[in-house]
Amino acid sequence: MNLYRARTKLKQVKLADVFPNSSYATSVQSKRIFINKNLTSYRRCIISKGNEKRRDGRLLSAWSMDGTIYVKTLPDGRPIKILELEDLENL
């Protein structure tokens, strides 16, 4: 769990930073490191749709915690629990 919480520190770390002498790492030096939770295909679909809405500016953020999906629509707003794809579409 500590590793998953610390994943946000990896946002600016690239593969070449971790493995500077690796030919593969230097050839894909623009690739960042991501750690993702293992979600069911349905939950992965919901978070994917949430991230699409975030990129389109319709949501502030979307994330999962312990397999539950949450979104925020306003910076001061409370997180909204998303149980079904319909919940996300109705925002």
Please provide the DSSP assignment of 18-55 as one string: H-TT-HHHHHTTTPBP-------HHHHHHHHHHHHHHH
Reply yes or no on whether the pLDDT at 34 is more than 90.
no
Reply yes or no on whether the pLDDT at 30 is more than 50.
yes
Q: Checking DSSP bridges between strand 80-82 and strand 61-65, what pairing results, if any?
A: unpaired
Reply yes or no on whether the pLDDT at 35 is more than 60.
yes
Residue numbers of the domain that contains 50 = 37-91
pTM: 0.64
**Claim to verify: residue 24 and residue 44 sit in the same structural domain:** no
pLDDT of residue 59: 94
**Claim to verify: residue 68 and residue 78 sit in the same structural domain:** yes
Count: domains in the chain: 2
Tokens at 2, concatenated: 């500590």
pLDDT: is 83 or 3 the higher one?
Answer: 83
**Claim to verify: residue 69 and residue 86 sit in the same structural domain:** yes
**Claim to verify: residue 41 and residue 70 sit in the same structural domain:** yes
Reply yes or no on whether the pLDDT at 28 is more than 70.
no
**Claim to verify: residue 57 and residue 77 sit in the same structural domain:** yes
Reply yes or no on whether the pLDDT at 25 is more than 50.
no
The pLDDT tens digits for 49-89 are 999 999 999 999 998 888 899 999 999 999 999 999 999 99
